[in-house]
Structure 1
Amino acid sequence: MRNDAPLDGSFCVTAQRLGIDSGDAAVLYLDTRHAACTMAGFSAGARVQISAQGRSTTARLNLVDGGILAPGAAGLSELAWRRLGAPAGCELRVQPAPPARSFSLVRSKIYGQDLSVDAASAIVGEIAAGLYSEIEIAAFVTACASRRLEVDEVFALTGAMVEAGTRLEWPVTPVVDKHCVGGLPGNRTTPLVVSIVAACGLTIPKTSSRAITSPAGTADVMETLAPVALDTAQMRRVVEQEGGCIVWGGAVDLSPADDILIRVSRPLDFDGEATMVASVLSKKIAAGATHVLIDIPVGPSAKVRSLADAESLTRLFLAVGGAYGLHVRTVISDGRQPVGRGIGPALEALDALAVLRNDADAPQDLRGRALALAGQLLELGGKADAGAGLAMASATLASGAAWRKFQAICAAQGGMRAPQAGACRFEVLAARSGRVATVDNRQLARVAKLAGAPRDPGAGVLFRAPLERIVSTGEVLYTIVAQSSAALARAIAHASAHPDIVGIVEA
């Protein structure tokens, strides 16, 4: 390590892998006694640019003490390590990260200026490069949420997100895809839809997200069944072999700026329709889709609360998608209650497997929703005539072809495994007899998260009280599932404090 004070603001250290998962933030760990701290003024929280063997990334600087780091070394978080792809012990050059030059354009948006194509490209490009602090990103997210974006602005933002990452191209057409805007616990239709559609001969390279504030993302669920962190070459091989895949989008660098914006905006509870449309379509365009089906659940505790909001969202999806040459279709669905029984990665995976295997006790609401979406996608992709898609999807599932295709996709992605549910359980019982009239999706999801989902894949909730069911006093409404007694206790406490998660009225 060079302990002399850096004259140009840069210094060199050797790379040490610490095995620290810092989430979506790349972090460099430096000893407090390093000359960069004691003499050059580098402080905790500073943004630094790290270079090694021709690759570079931007990271946040964290300071450590007490001999954690080897002499002459700086530590890298797992995300920083992956981005650099550097071997342990190699030399790292560290320097102050350049300022975000485009932030003046964010200020312009705050004060009412339209977001042009050039402005969106500059802002999103620097966000993806790691040059924005979280406060600056929050300012941009707030500006987009507080001042409604026009169609041209959403078009500009979508394109900028695509430009900032990898864009896949496929030698076939059509290339179909689907997306649900979210808000429903347990709504895990993707493994079913991909299997049915691919079994019918359409190409569907599905990239999915991990959970941010929900109990499970599609990538979390799929990871309990097969590897999902495939790189672009591996993803291509799977799609070429099986016609479809279900992989984690973060591993193939599709629209990376969107992942950053989501991470900052979700805790703020800013999820306006403009940024939602840009987020969804940028990833579909980047994944090489030509035909996209969008599921929009509507319900009082779903992400989209009213039919009017769903129709407005549909118009924006169609306008922006059409401007990029996408064939977009939306489906407005029932978002009043969870779909299936399981809420949490392994529990949702078990539901999907039950449907794929045509088990007699498979959740019929999940089966019906998946078939409806698969049927629409078969029609949109030209594989079935108008009105004939549902029958084709149903026959494909019933024949076992979808189940065989799913097993083949899992094998191609690295091998199928069995999801394991947690062993610690607690049953929440009905305090009175009557009819189930309401379900609070958000609070039910909160119970599942407190139980450990998605961090503990086997944790979550088994839901047993769909709307309109007649229940008796003492009947099980839902079961909390955890992998530790401490997590179970936290979830029980929250459920006890919210006794109306399942609302029961006189029958």
Structure 2
Amino acid sequence: MSQPVLPTPRGDGSLLLRRIGIDTLQESVVYMHADCHVCRSEGFEAQARVEVHLNGRAIIATLNVVDPGLLAVDEAGLSNSAWRALNAAAGDRATVSHAPALDSMSQVRAKIYGNRLDAPAFDAIVADVAAGRYPDIHIAAFLSACAGGRMNVQETIALTRAMVAAGERIDWGRAPIADKHCVGGLPGNRTTPIVVAIVAAAGLTMPKTSSRAITSPAGTADVMETLTRVDLDVTAMRRVVEREGGCLVWGGALTLSPADDVLIRVERPLDLDSDAQLVASVLSKKIAAGATHALIDIPVGPTAKVRSDEDFLRLQRLIEQVADANGLNLRVLRTHGGQPVGRGIGPALEAHDVLAVLRGAAHAPVDLRMRALALAAHLLEFCGHSRPGQGQSEAWRLLDSGAAWAKFQAICEAQGGLREPALAPLREPVLAASAGYVAAIDNRRLARVAKLAGAPSAAAAGLELHVRLGDDVEAGQPLFTLHAQAPGELAYARRYHDAHPAIALEGHPA
């Protein structure tokens, strides 16, 4: 049998690039034929780390070797992220070589074995992560080695500083610069857009950068993306803030603490969010964005992220120590975390709640309104705008007068225009099997149900909560309504809840 005639390799060793159309999120992947002359001559094996060069650009990518049929021997396929990173075009040819040695991995291995790392070690690791030199498996190893209380205060300070140093740092040339963050674990707690609108309407500067969801059904950036554009660069962000006094943008589109967004991407499937990583992630973003005064909201409840007073005090001390070491004025608030906030859980549903509060609608969720007002009041006093004890009345005035709503509209218009969030085409109520009162709501299970319904990837998916703790419920009454964009996701979420109920009902005492 005659052998197939293989293409003759070019003398420069280059390979014709092809966009394979595979979504590998932000990890760059290159695909090569098993008989590729470059693979053979360089001794490449599957999962090797290689460097791809094109027109003065270079990326580090993970190699996948494919069987005959998908690629010719003189071709290299690129994942979507690798194609974008190289700014490749049809017909381009690139060279592929061994990636440089990753010296900082020795520090990761040291951490895995329980050793303490110093500031230069974290600088090296974070710089390599930000530059895209770590594959996801190495990032996962680093995150795991730092989880479970394996980081002390000095290490957390060093990690925070390394994350700030790896990117840009904005200087607004004035003070105070306000910021606010919730550590999470409480579905629907979307106070940030309301707080930014109130604080900016008061004349303070609040350039808010937010992340997408890590382990929750929605992050602030996911919610705001249903309302306006959030992927602004630093120049556009500055323009919005100088014009309106505030913004609500996605931190991943900026070069502020860029390693954080890479780490978050790997944390998400691991469902991992350690105290040290949480503190370094939150504070590095605040510091890089130029904040001088930050308010940290820590909800505490039996099924929140922070479950006890002991956990709260430990996290509070760590945040305050790291903030103090970095010159950031910080105030930590302990808030109630026994049940979700608002009605919607999921990007678009939470956006509807935010709009209802800002517009002063009669159906606006009272708990979301009151939490946002309390946080805004603390921030107004903390930044010196209001005298102690007067922040609450000022926050109420700005919200009830419509000034906060006008400011929110102006910020959204400056970011690209305000739009109404979509509604999911599929909805199914989940009914109470018996009469009683709502004795407990499991935040984690309810968040899981919303995620299985499609949130946050499907922006309109999630659930709408109809009951609160202590409410009387009749048999057959809707406890919440599932929202989904696909029948399979709707059924999947319903099956999970049937097996793991998130709302506990108890009969009334005799």
TM-score by length of 2: 0.92
Query: 41, 44, 50: which is aligned to 1:42?
Result: 44
Change (3 A) 1:64 1:375: farther
Which deviates further from its counterpart, 483-492 or 325-334?
483-492
Which residue matches 1:504?
505
Change (3 A) 1:222 1:358: same
Q: Kindly provide the CA deviation profile for residues 240-279 of structure 1, in whole angstroms up to 9, marking residues without a partner as x.
A: 1111111111110222222233333444444332221111
Secondary structure class of the residue paired with 2:14 = strand
Task: Output the CA distance in 2 between the equivalents of 1:23 and 1:43.
Answer: 22
Which residue matches 1:491?
493
Q: Kindly provide the CA deviation profile for residues 399-458 of structure 1, in whole angstroms up to 9, marking residues without a partner as x.
A: 111111111111111111111111211111111211111111111111111111111111
Which residue matches 1:332?
334
Which residue matches 1:264?
266
Q: Kindly provide the CA deviation profile for residues 96-148 of structure 1, in whole angstroms up to 9, marking residues without a partner as x.
A: 22232122222333344322111111122222223333333333223222453
Query: 74, 85, 95: which is aligned to 1:83?
Result: 85
Letter of the 1:141 partner, please give it.
Answer: L
1:24-43 equivalent positions in 2, closer than 5 A: 24-43=26-45
Task: Output the CA distance in 1 between the equivalents of 2:364 and 2:177.
Answer: 30
Change (3 A) 1:193 1:485: same
1:250-399 equivalent positions in 2, closer than 5 A: 250-399=252-401
Change (3 A) 1:229 1:88: farther
Q: Tell me how large the CA RMSD over aligned residues is.
A: 2.4
Secondary structure class of the residue paired with 1:365 = helix
Which deviates further from its counterpart, 109-118 or 281-290?
109-118
Task: Output the CA distance in 2 between the equivalents of 1:186 and 1:495.
Answer: 18
Query: 35, 54, 57: which is aligned to 1:55?
Result: 57
Q: Return the offset for 1:3.
A: 5.7
Change (3 A) 1:147 1:425: closer
Which residue matches 1:417?
419
Secondary structure class of the residue paired with 2:147 = helix
Which deviates further from its counterpart, 254-263 or 436-445?
254-263
Change (3 A) 1:195 1:161: same
Q: Return the offset for 1:35.
A: 2.3
Letter of the 1:271 partner, please give it.
Answer: D
Q: Return the offset for 1:334.
A: 1.0
Change (3 A) 1:450 1:146: closer
Which deviates further from its counterpart, 138-147 or 388-397?
138-147
Task: Output the CA distance in 2 between the equivalents of 1:279 and 1:172.
Answer: 24
Secondary structure class of the residue paired with 1:369 = helix
Task: Output the CA distance in 1 between the equivalents of 2:436 and 2:357.
Answer: 30
Q: Kindly provide the CA deviation profile for residues 352-393 of structure 1, in whole angstroms up to 9, marking residues without a partner as x.
A: 111110000001111111111111111122211122112111
Q: Return the offset for 1:308.
A: 1.5
Query: 235, 241, 244: which is aligned to 1:242?
Result: 244
> Is this contact kept in 1: 2:149–2:275, CA < 8 A?
no
> Which structure 1 residue ranges, 5 or more long, are not aligned?
none
Letter of the 2:328 partner, please give it.
Answer: L
Change (3 A) 1:200 1:147: closer
Change (3 A) 1:168 1:59: farther
Which residue matches 1:186?
188
Letter of the 1:208 partner, please give it.
Answer: S
Which residue matches 2:3?
none
Task: Output the CA distance in 1 between the equivalents of 2:439 and 2:492.
Answer: 26
Letter of the 1:161 partner, please give it.
Answer: M
Task: Output the CA distance in 2 between the equivalents of 1:377 and 1:117.
Answer: 32
Q: Return the offset for 1:339.
A: 0.8
Q: Kindly provide the CA deviation profile for residues 185-205 of structure 1, in whole angstroms up to 9, marking residues without a partner as x.
A: 111111111111111111111
Letter of the 1:222 partner, please give it.
Answer: M
Instruction: Count the aligned residue pairs.
Output: 503
Task: Output the CA distance in 2 between the equivalents of 1:167 and 1:477.
Answer: 46
Secondary structure class of the residue paired with 1:172 = coil
Task: Output the CA distance in 2 between the equivalents of 1:265 and 1:229.
Answer: 21
Which residue matches 1:208?
210
Secondary structure class of the residue paired with 1:215 = coil
In the alignment, does 2:458 pair up with 1:456?
yes
> Which structure 2 residue ranges, 5 or more long, are not aligned?
1-5
Q: Percent of aligned pairs with the same residue?
A: 57
Change (3 A) 1:469 1:127: same
Letter of the 1:293 partner, please give it.
Answer: L
1:472-491 equivalent positions in 2, closer than 5 A: 472-491=474-493
Q: Kindly provide the CA deviation profile for residues 15-57 of structure 1, in whole angstroms up to 9, marking residues without a partner as x.
A: 4445543223222344445322355443332222233333333
Query: 192, 195, 198: which is aligned to 2:197?
Result: 195
> Is this contact kept in 1: 2:9–2:74, CA < 8 A?
no
Secondary structure class of the residue paired with 1:44 = coil
Task: Output the CA distance in 2 between the equivalents of 1:425 and 1:154.
Answer: 44
Q: Return the offset for 1:294.
A: 0.6
TM-score by length of 1: 0.93
1:109-128 equivalent positions in 2, closer than 5 A: 109-128=111-130
